[in-house]
A and B are shown apart, each in its own frame.
Chain A
Amino acid sequence: MVEVAPATGAPAASAPPRFEMRGVRKAFGATKAVNGVDFSVAAGEVCALVGQNGAGKSTLMAILSGAIRPDAGTMALDGQPYQPREPIDARTAGVAMIHQELSLAPHLTVMENIGLGLEPARYGLVKWRTLRDTAADALAQLGHPEIRPDTIVADLSPAGQQLVEVARAIASGARVVVLDEPTSSLTHADVERLFTLIRRLKVQGLAVVYISHFIEEVKAISDRVVVLRDGANAGGGRTADLSPEAIVERMVGREVEDLYPRTPREPGEPLLELSELQPGGATLTLHRGEIVGIAGLLGAGRSRLLRTIFGLEAVRSGRIRVGMYTGPASPAARWAQGAGMLSENRAAEGLAVGLSIADNLTLSQLNDLGPRFLVLPSRQTAAAARWMQRIGIRSAGPRQAVGELSGGNQQKVAIARLLHHDVDLLILDEPTRGIDVGSKAQIYALLDALAAGGQTGAGAGSDRGQTGVRPRPDPALAPLRPRAVLMVSSYLPELLGMCDRIAVMCRGRLGPARPTSEWTEHSLLMEASGAQAG
């Protein structure tokens, strides 16, 4: 029972699926990224492709889009052999990719972006009227005729920009649309809008491949689930027949224990005090041994608040007190005061992806790595290797470039920087964005251990066995003092699972932090959308 009758009801069950791949393999050197995957999607069907980072989803999609050629296996589009050599082959054949990071030219208009690469032209001159009509038509089909074709794309919201990407797929006459982590930068309301959009695509008889880490989304939108693990099929079936737990179990290959560990925590002295801080309108006290969460919609000003606390943006009024320190702040001063920040945007701010793991991990704290102003590479590498081992960062070694790691491992490098610096106050902006369930579980365990004052690596990497030789006492092994964690997240289950208290930010104002037990997902959403204001 694989096929689901398409909503349009046209082809019989015996008709070939819109898109099909059989026995596809691809190896990079010794690594078998994709090792014999079968996968198909019918017209008018939404098929979810799930798997942890490194399970082979990205490679599979690169093969589908013509960016990589497979070593073995066959692909067919509507029963015809399909062998794209270049991404443009895929596009002309009717396979459209919508990537995690938007692939729009921000300075160009909506219609230029929609027609990009396939502009209607005569004698090399663009036929603007045709282009405008095509764009307007595609936007209307998506139920958004209000977006004007000559708007500059940079002026649209992230959701609007994504809509332009989908419109581009429609305008190019796509038969298969692949959405790769489309919701990672969208708010809750925008996700709903995207789902409406996907249902429209379905009705129009397109085949939709939906890649996501969010099991809830997969449950909500897909007809069928295909799970990948270690580059091979790991089961799947009709979405309606699978519980979220069953999907996660197939992804990780074992039964998942409780995702959100909770060691008893003892609130200690205050480490962060905000009084009437603008921007953010925030009054909040965060104690040692406590995790406080900030919920809110995208654009509510949550990141701005964190950045202001950390000295990356200017304080307009009010006071910030970090530990014993008040007064003006810069990131350098904050690090010196024992605070560290994790950026929401790994690629643009959080990490220097061209540099090595060791360089990234030690960048904020190069002082201990040699006499005076020197930085000894051997000590840098050793310090990095210790943390990599402790929290289980998978790589070819501390000198590997961060950009070559998977998202989950990159995030662990960014978090390891705060551990290496030995900060007391962790300011985390979207600590689990865009990473797989397995890495998420490890990060949750780590944060719990940090707040409770356990050992770093409890449940994260310690079960992999210790190495025999330890040259000097390892701070990572000693029982830790409890830390304080302030985290922003758009993923409500994680806030409810991890935090002791949660505050909601709405339209640039932070509400009071209340114990997590007083919140539900529903009440958080209501508060965040301003429904209970006044």
Chain B
Amino acid sequence: MDGTLTVDGSLGRASRLRAIWRGDSGVLLGLALVAIFFGALIGPQFFRPANLELMAIQTVIVCVAALGMTMVIVSSGIDLSVGSVVALATVVTAVLLRHGYDPALAALGALGAAALCGLVNGLLITRLKVVPFIVTLGTMLLVRGAAKGVAEERRVEAPITWLNDLLRTARGGNGLGVPAGIWITLILALIVGGVLGYTRFGRHLFAIGSNERTARLCGVRVERRKLQVYTIAAIFAGLAGIFQFSRLAVGDPTVAVGLELDVIAAVIIGGGSLLGGKGTVVGTMAGAAIMAVIQIGCSQHGLPNWVQQIVTGIIIVMAVALDRWRQASFQRASP
């Protein structure tokens, strides 16, 4: 037997270090570098709690949707309908509030509508055997159209409720320190991280993403798992929509156009692979944070929006290139 395998099957120290090097360290290092860069550019006030909170609030919508997207991408799928589902969720929330429903019921209704979108995605992908890219490209338009129809092509005004406080720092303190929406996102991140790493569902997603035929051979109910993952991802998008509504205070069927690309970018910067079988929650959150730091940093330094977009574009490509280089260097070190 190989000397590095100890009795209990744990890895030796060298392998453990290598495992960390292979893990999320890259994206976390990238986040640190970007933060230090803008910190140096802008000064220590960049790291003031209020500023950090602003960044967290800015990124929370992308983060929540990216949690669902991480699961989808791990299973080697993709969901382009996220932005449209977010818009639909804002509209459904606003319409229900207007009809005098309780805010909690309105939010539940939005999540239900989102789940339905995800179920449709999943059914089309598994029953028609059309690739996820095409199916969700279709539902992206379909759901956007549905949102506009429900809203009668207008912004839907809605009464102000506690839903609008989700991303607001509570005046006088709500005892939570930061807005409730951030806590919700952090808790969900922990849950999704746990699900991916420590449940049968999570391990099945990795297996499907790495090799779908192997998963099927091993008795994984691939179709059912896909149905589940697209539905869950859409529910996360629905929650992102509720957060979006919270900030806008209206139901807007034209909001979040192109949001899915930010969401996918967060997952990819975080080490997810569009080929499937790879992706972590820590990476995704750090990926979303990198984009938020660039966005806020650029605007606070007075850099125009176009600079910010160029920088973000470069970061996406560099992140994936660096990841590939890291994997290759690892493989060279141990064949």
Contact = CB atoms under 8 A, between A and B. Distances in A.
A374 to B, nearest CB: 5
A514 interface: no
Contacts of A330: 219, 221
A376 B9 CA distance: 14
Contacts of B199: 373-375
Given A382-B8, A397-B4, A354 B211 contact: yes
Contacts of A386: 9
B280 to A, nearest CB: 14
Contacts of B9: 381-382, 384-386, 388, 397-398
A31 to B, nearest CB: 6
B198 A377 contact: yes
Interface residues of B, number: 40
Contacts of A237: none
Given A382-B8, A467-B7, A396 B203 contact: no
B210 A334 contact: no
Contacts of B197: 377
Nearest 7 CB-CB pairings of A with B: A385-B9, A352-B210, A352-B211, A332-B219, A335-B219, A364-B218, A349-B213
B215 interface: yes
Given A354-B277, A366-B200, A397-B9, A312 B19 contact: no
Interface string A365-409: 011001001111100011011101100101111110000100000
A350 interface: yes
Contact of A336 (B12, B218, B219, B331): B219
Contacts of A29: 333-335
A392 B1 CA distance: 7
Interface in B3-23: 4-5, 7-12, 15, 19
Interface in A498-515: none
A123 interface: no
Interface residues of A, number: 55
23 contacts: A31-B334, A33-B335, A310-B217, A331-B218, A333-B219, A348-B211, A349-B217, A352-B214, A359-B207, A366-B200, A366-B204, A373-B199, A373-B201, A374-B200, A375-B203, A382-B8, A384-B9, A385-B5, A388-B1, A396-B2, A397-B4, A397-B11, A397-B12
Contacts of A397: 2, 4-5, 9-12, 15
B335 A404 contact: yes
Contact of B210 (A348, A353, A366, A392): A353
Interface string B270-287: 000000011000000000
A331 B214 CA distance: 11
A332 to B, nearest CB: 4
A354 B15 contact: no
Interface of B: 1-2, 4-5, 7-12, 15, 19, 197-204, 206-207, 210-211, 213-221, 277-278, 331-335
B218 A404 contact: no
Contact of A404 (B204, B217, B331): B331
A399 B19 contact: yes
A473 interface: no
Interface string A272-289: 000000000000000000
Given A363-B215, A404-B335, 6 more contacts: A349-B214, A351-B211, A364-B218, A375-B198, A417-B218, A467-B7
A331 B1 contact: no
Nearest to B214: A352
Contact of A363 (B1, B10, B203, B213): B203
Contact of A468 (B7, B203, B220): B7
A394 B5 CA distance: 10
Contacts of A396: 2, 4-5, 11, 15, 334
A343 interface: yes
A385 B11 CA distance: 11
B216 A364 contact: no
B147 to A, nearest CB: 35
A464 interface: yes
A341 interface: yes
A332 B217 CA distance: 8
A324 interface: no
A366 B204 CA distance: 9
Given A394-B2, A396-B2, A363 B207 contact: yes
Contacts of B11: 396-397, 399
Given A377-B198, A396-B334, A355 B277 contact: yes
A351 B218 CA distance: 10
A500 B5 CA distance: 38
A15 interface: no
Interface string A344-362: 0000111111110001100
A376 B1 CA distance: 25
A331 B217 contact: yes
Nearest to B19: A399
A312 B331 CA distance: 34
Residue from B7, B8, B211, B219 with most neighbouring chain A CB atoms (10 Å): B219
A243 to B, nearest CB: 33
B214 A350 contact: yes
A502 B204 CA distance: 37
A469 interface: yes
Contacts of A341: 217
